[in-house]
Amino acid sequence: MALKRVAVIGAGISGLASAYYLKKNSQDTEILIFESENICGGKLVTSSFAGIPVDEGADSFLARVPWAFDLCKELGLELELVSPSARNASLWLDKKLQSIPSPNVLGVPLNIDSVPAGLLSSEALLRLSGEGFPDRVLPDGDLSVGQVIRACVGSEVLERLVDPLLGGVNAGRADEMSCALMAPQLLEAAHHSDGMLNHLRSVTKNADPNAPVFHTHPEGMSRIIDALTDSLKSSLRTNNRVQNIGFSEQKWRIDTENGFELVDGVLLSTPAYISSNLLQNSFPSLSKEFSSIEFASVTLITFGYSRTDFEADASQSGYLVPRESGLLMTACSFSGSKWPHLKHPDLEILRVSTGRIDDIRHLSMTNDELLNELQSDLLTTLEIESAPVDVRISRWPNSLAQFPVGHVDFVADLRDKLKHSAPGLIFTGTFQYGVGVPACVRSGKEGADQMTAFLNG
Ligand SMILES: Cc1cc2nc3c(=O)[nH]c(=O)nc-3n(C[C@H](O)[C@H](O)[C@H](O)COP(=O)(O)OP(=O)(O)OC[C@H]3O[C@@H](n4cnc5c(N)ncnc54)[C@H](O)[C@@H]3O)c2cc1C
């Protein structure tokens, strides 16, 4: 029987995970991975900053969901993974840094004694000390995170805690985010007969407060990419931008800047707006569906400050900055406090984020303007007066998919449409389960399983 051939388009974590699991599923499939850049990894990039490896995009992954950890285990990396040493974080609210109450579930405090004085009004605290029953009837099905939180614990909790925390994940607005996708545990709790707060208190009662929340690799997230590419070496086609995907005579045709390949199946692992371009000629209506997904742009600036000028609190991993502050920065991470391997001998390394779906100021700023504005924000929030010793700017335009209410159904519907009108074309990537690395690995693994079923079908 002739060897089946599958093209994977895009060698970010989603594409590489799908290729890895496809290879594991079926040794007799030839896999061709097309990547437009000369390196793999997409938004997982580690490069040297002040002599140590510091991530330019994602710097860790969530530990409480299995997919990324399981992949690391398969790659033989699990014993090398590390977790943050500092677990506390703050919010810049009312012109001061205030501790994020703990325990909390996605920002909803479960114990009012942990809420710093003045952070919430007495009315909000009174509500938080209750059961958390919604003050209106919540319809079935998906709702926005904002609708759920406003109804169960009030607008202050949403605006001052949940929105900054959840908005930090994909630079979106909690009032527009799908609760089913971004916070399924809150949606379930909101409908629970004990009330949202009671239910959350009971499910978190036995949680180990010392269990790791995040993992990373001390050599940076690129180490995971290197382990994947090592196992997929003969499949990699870097510097090979795909320009069009078509179908004729029972074969998929992949046109690249270097020629074309005919394959039996395609795992489409590029961001949705790129997938849309690739399908435009042959599948205009599918292309339109992919193009409907919105993306936020972010810029991440790494600052190195001499420790004689600024010393971060070793117990704090960093702080979030709500949009109401008007500052350009959205978050600041104290890398050396958070990760032991990023404790530089002379410098405090700060990773400062900017950009939200409704704040694109950073996009039109020159590098100098960006640095000036952010140094002014660091003066305001941390009282750093000196200039940094080292800086690095990593721009990530259109990098974080947004998930409006109903997104889960949209994805299921799109998968169905592909099955009928483009059998053998399977998508993976951030817009399925969320932007986090574990969600990307999950989409890659499931995409590989769907491809295996298709090839065997
Ligand atoms: C600043 C930042 C910080 C983040 N922090 C975290 C974090 O701490 N934890 C976490 O879990 N997640 C984090 N994320 C999210 C996470 O990094 C991404 O969602 C994830 O890496 C996306 O992976 P992907 O493979 O789906 O897409 P991508 O990484 O975008 O990969 C797509 C690949 O396709 C390639 N490509 C594009 N066009 C073509 C073409 N025409 N032909 C061939 N190849 C093409 C690209 O070059 C790229 O390599 C962060 C994201 C950003 C931007």
Domains of the chain in start order, with CATH, are: 4-45+218-294+403-456 (3.50.50.60), 100-204 (1.10.3110.10), 295-401 (3.90.660.20)
Asked if residue 275 has its Cβ within 6 Å of ligand 1, the reply is no
Which atom, in ligand 1's list, is nearest to the CA of 440?
A: 26
Residue nearest to atom 50 of ligand 1 (CA): 58
Which atom, in ligand 1's list, is nearest to the CA of 10?
A: 34
Instruction: For residues 392-409, give the mean pLDDT.
Output: 98
Distance separating alpha carbons of residues 144 and 180, to the nearest angstrom: 8
Sheet with 29-34: list strands edge to edge. Answer: 236-237, 29-34, 4-9, 265-268, 425-427
Which atom, in ligand 1's list, is nearest to the CA of 62?
A: 11
Asked if residue 242 has its Cβ within 6 Å of ligand 1, the reply is yes
For the chain, the distance separating the N- and C-terminal CA atoms, rounded to the nearest angstrom, is 15
Please give the single-letter amino acid code of residue 172.
G
Instruction: For residues 232-250, give the mean pLDDT.
Output: 96
Residue nearest to atom 7 of ligand 1 (CA): 58
Distance separating alpha carbons of residues 311 and 382, to the nearest angstrom: 10
CA distance readout (Å), 239 to 34, 242, 397: 8, 10, 20
Task: Report the range of poorest mean pLDDT among 186-195, 209-218, 275-284.
Answer: 209-218
Distance separating alpha carbons of residues 224 and 221, to the nearest angstrom: 6
Overall pTM surpassing 0.85 (yes/no): yes
Q: What is the largest CA-CA distance in the chain?
A: 73
Closest residue by Cα to residue 412 from 450, 441, 455, 438: 450
Residue nearest to atom 27 of ligand 1 (CA): 12
pLDDT by residue (tens digit) across 306-319? 999 999 999 999 99
pLDDT by residue (tens digit) across 412-448? 999 999 999 999 999 999 989 999 999 999 999 999 9
Residue nearest to atom 48 of ligand 1 (CA): 42
Distance 113 CA to ligand 1 centre (A): 39
Residue 66 pLDDT exceeds 70: yes
Closest residue by Cα to residue 240 from 252, 255, 253: 255
pLDDT by residue (tens digit) across 77-124? 999 999 998 889 999 999 999 999 999 999 999 999 999 999 999 999
Distance 30 CA to ligand 1 centre (A): 24
Distance 305 CA to ligand 1 centre (A): 28
Asked if residue 255 has its Cβ within 6 Å of ligand 1, the reply is no
Asked if residue 220 has its Cβ within 6 Å of ligand 1, the reply is no
Which atom, in ligand 1's list, is nearest to the CA of 429?
A: 26
Strands 214-215 and 295-306: unpaired
**CB neighbourhood size of 142 (10 A):** 20
**What would the 3-class secondary structure string for the chain be?**
CCCEEEEEECCEHHHHHHHHHHHHHCCCEEEEEECCCCCCECCCCEEEECCEEEECCCCCEECCCCHHHHHHHHCCCHHHCECCCCCEEEEEECCEEEECCCCEECCEECCHHHCCCCCCCHHHHHHHCCCCCCCCCCCCCCCEHHHHHHHHCCHHHHHHHHHHHHHHHHCCCCCCEEHHHHCHHHHHHHCCCCCHHHHHHHHHCCCCCCCCCEEECCCCCHHHHHHHHHHCHHHEECCCCEEEEEEECCEEEEEECCEEEEECEEEECCCHHHHHHHHCCCCHHHHHHHHCCCEEEEEEEEEEEECCCCCCCCCEEEEECCHHHCCCEEEEEEHHHHCHHHCCCCEEEEEEEECECCECHHHHCCHHHHHHHHHHHHHHHHCCCCCCCEEEEEEEEEEEECCECCHHHHHHHHHHHHHHHCCCEEECCHHHHCCCHHHHHHHHHHHHHHHHHHHHC
What's the token pair of residue 95? 């012109």
Distance 290 CA to ligand 1 centre (A): 16
Residue 9 pLDDT exceeds 90: yes
Which atom, in ligand 1's list, is nearest to the CA of 44?
A: 21
**CB neighbourhood size of 421 (10 A):** 12
* Mutation test residue for ligand 1: of 270, 276, 411, the one with most atoms within 8 Å of CB: 270
Distance 372 CA to ligand 1 centre (A): 28
Angle at 273 (CA atoms; ends 408, 417), nearest 5 degrees: 50
Residue nearest to atom 49 of ligand 1 (CA): 42
Distance separating alpha carbons of residues 336 and 344, to the nearest angstrom: 7
Q: Using pLDDT thresholds of 50, 70 and 90, give the confidence band for residue 1.
A: low
Distance separating alpha carbons of residues 411 and 294, to the nearest angstrom: 14
pLDDT for res 404: 97
Distance 13 CA to ligand 1 centre (A): 7
* Mutation test residue for ligand 1: of 435, 441, 442, 443, the one with most atoms within 8 Å of CB: 435
**Residues 6 or more apart from 175 whose CB is under 8 A from it?**
144, 145, 146, 147, 158, 163
Which atom, in ligand 1's list, is nearest to the CA of 437?
A: 11
pLDDT for res 123: 97
